[in-house]
Structure 1
């Protein structure tokens, strides 16, 4: 780290954003069980869901199988132990089944309203999805579902809708509208229950679902039917170049005219490149929607035309989905003990070979990805595996839980990982704190070099 700081000072490290990204990447690749932060869990059952709010990066919400939920302030400790070295974070809000509006059975999912910590959403095996007012701890909206709720999701980009996507044991995916308190959409296509649901990180209209039938379907919620079904046999090798560096000029494939030359009028004009970071997301989303529109045949449900509707992404249930921050790739986990990386634009399996690990198949799995999309964290029985997204290599194996791990959440604000499991514990994995005993990047002897010395200290 000190080497990176020195390079920036002497202007060897490029722009400041590049420097920040390198520091964050270095911190996230050196996680270890925190010895200075501890979450005091009030749950008496396995922890099924974790999420840090997306606005302040300050409040952690957890849902457990004893029908309880809790909220913690992870930036401000409630007490200190070990001579002030260990910050303990007790819950600032707890709701259990004794609450008048509490769930009756296990809470499978708990998420924050993306733009405000004043609301949060919970889904339960009691067939209900509740929207809560954080300040009053009251349910302001209740959606009755046709079966157990496995996962819920809300788009962090949405400005035109307030939809909660619900994955349940029913074959249909339902979208609950917080603006009206009613079901806005019912998405039909899966042949078994749905365990995973994920909104695109590049378009507020694109939804991705994973079912117990092994299928991953892409939906444009403005149109009927899904527009793509991922097929594990449809593959491509290699990683696509970044969006801003890729040429978008297309070669004309029109038939030659009577004179033997290709008509230039039929050639498609090249698209404009996007120069800003925010614009890249819109460009990525336009590519997805372009694939969704296509010809008149492509706009129909794939199952009405070809055998694509029978395609599977996993040999078994799809238990977890996670999109990368740039919206270009999708990670999926299945009960076949496989982790796969998909190119969203082409729908291809990238064939990145991740280590085969044993995964739970009876419940949904919550994956986590670092902000730079370099590392994916996957709960694997009693441990959490950290894989390099692009090479598939195992970077770390985080062991600390005594029983199965169900969920994990990566906080980009502090580069910390939170994990919850059947042992009813929430563990914090943090980058190591630097001190004077750390190895010196300049001297290499473990002691401070002359670069850091001064003439006025004792």
Structure 2
């Protein structure tokens, strides 16, 4: 098959990147949990990254090497993804700050590396603060008290400005300027707590936000009246509601019928994906504001106020218009074709050794939240996915290679042979026992 792709490319029958995307997309479809364990030094008897659960993870986009994780107990750790010993299959943190730290008093809600330098990162917390840390020392160099629970924050990946958009319990998006160290202004328009914010990947001044009121709003931070528009789930034609001159604002259109706790842009900025407690995933055309009406089926689950942000596989790995969405769905990860809503896989991991799960919960017919997937991160420059879990563990998902399949087949053959030998041995033992127990007579005399 590869020879055919090379032939077609050499004669101009296909694009030059067809062979590459065919191979890389095959790897994306073949992701499976590997045996690596993220083990914190303070929990030697339990192979977990954070004792009280992992709330958020992020991987630097420069080298794609360092993973940053934040715990429900306010702990923070940095992991070198290239430091695993093959003989041990275990990651140890490069540096960590446990829950006795003086920095954050409550659980971490979001982490993000500095946009142009992975030597610094931002963290937000339920303790009302946004902090700037050094990645080398885990010491905070700046702290901002927003006087409200900070559910999420976002830095623009392309902007020259250093504004951090923060979503809090207050019904307005807060903008913090890292240069001046002050909260510059607020973006008012929502009527509920802000659970999700995301900057455009192509326009440095455009921001999207979602709130508990079910609305998703667009903002241009350069304008005095910053609000650009609001999405409407009933609008499939792209007539985004305009600002009312008489009332001085936008109508109360809803993108979802429940709180919106996840927003992500596609790489080209042409589409926006939103998730909500109404257990719907919606895809929007950002040029017109139209609901594309992609149906992802009835499997989607979403019940927590914490951010639940899906991620997209890099488009460079995939054929044109075949974007893939990964959605953290309770105890599994759902893989979808983005523009068709077709479910491709339900990705589940086996129970890790030493990780406690609740059998009692299953027995009572209730959801087991101990193993819930809380966050996802894609490793730049590789075909690797990482998931954070509320049981304190972090799981690495890597492609199932032909070598893995061959080894599995050999293992199955070995097990079948051993089973066959055991079965034969059991039959012989039964025959032997039957013969030794049977009474044998000679010449009519019982012996």
Question: TM-score band (shorter)?
Answer: 0.7 to 0.9
Separation in 2, partners of 1:9, 1:423: 50
8 Å CA contact retained: 2:5, 2:19:
no
Q: Which has the larger radius of gyration?
A: 2
Structure 1 residue 49: Cα displacement: 1.0
Structure 1 residues 142-157: aligned runs within 5 Å: 142-157=143-158
Q: Tell me: CA distance 1:25–1:306, structure 2 relative to 1, closer, same or farther (3 Å).
A: farther
| 2:75 pairs with one of 46, 68, 89 | 68
| 2:281 pairs with one of 339, 348, 351 | 339
- The C-alpha deviation readout for 1:301-348, integer Å capped at 9, x for no partner, is 558658843000000100101111111001100000000000000001
Separation in 1, partners of 2:218, 2:15: 37
Match of 2:268 in 1: 326
| 1:425 pairs with one of 393, 403, 407 | 393
Structure 1 residue 413: Cα displacement: 1.8
8 Å CA contact retained: 2:65, 2:379:
no
8 Å CA contact retained: 1:317, 1:361:
no
Q: Tell me: CA distance 1:433–1:130, structure 2 relative to 1, closer, same or farther (3 Å).
A: same
Structure 1 residues 134-173: aligned runs within 5 Å: 134-159=135-160, 161-173=161-173
8 Å CA contact retained: 1:48, 1:109:
yes
Pair 1:26-2:26 in alignment? yes
8 Å CA contact retained: 2:49, 2:394:
no
8 Å CA contact retained: 1:146, 1:170:
no
8 Å CA contact retained: 1:376, 1:388:
yes
Separation in 2, partners of 1:348, 1:145: 34
- The C-alpha deviation readout for 1:263-288, integer Å capped at 9, x for no partner, is xxxxxxxxxxxxxxxxxxxxxxxxxx
Pair 1:384-2:329 in alignment? no
Separation in 1, partners of 2:25, 2:99: 41
Structure 1 residue 76: Cα displacement: 2.8
Q: Tell me: CA distance 1:385–1:352, structure 2 relative to 1, closer, same or farther (3 Å).
A: same
Pair 1:399-2:399 in alignment? no
Counterpart of 1:24 in 2: which secondary structure? helix
| 1:368 pairs with one of 311, 320, 323 | 311
Q: Tell me: CA distance 1:437–1:105, structure 2 relative to 1, closer, same or farther (3 Å).
A: closer
Counterpart of 1:309 in 2: which secondary structure? coil
Match of 1:93 in 2: 95
- The C-alpha deviation readout for 1:45-75, integer Å capped at 9, x for no partner, is 2211111111111111111111111111112
Structure 1 residue 23: Cα displacement: 2.5
Structure 1 residue 410: Cα displacement: 2.0
Match of 1:410 in 2: 378
Aligned residue-pair number: 370
| 1:80 pairs with one of 86, 90, 93 | 86
Structure 1 residue 5: Cα displacement: 6.4
Match of 1:48 in 2: 55
Separation in 2, partners of 1:59, 1:116: 12
Separation in 2, partners of 1:172, 1:51: 25
8 Å CA contact retained: 2:77, 2:94:
yes
8 Å CA contact retained: 1:334, 1:361:
no
Structure 1: give runs of 5+ residues left out of the alignment.
238-290, 440-458
Separation in 2, partners of 1:177, 1:227: 21
Taking structure 1 as the reference length, the TM-score comes to: 0.76
8 Å CA contact retained: 2:156, 2:200:
yes
Structure 1 residue 146: Cα displacement: 2.4
Q: Tell me: CA distance 1:22–1:99, structure 2 relative to 1, closer, same or farther (3 Å).
A: same
- The C-alpha deviation readout for 1:167-197, integer Å capped at 9, x for no partner, is 1111111111111111122111110000000
Separation in 1, partners of 2:279, 2:157: 29
Match of 1:311 in 2: 253
Separation in 2, partners of 1:308, 1:229: 7
Structure 2: give runs of 5+ residues left out of the alignment.
40-47, 316-321, 352-356, 358-370, 408-447
| CA root-mean-square deviation | 2.5
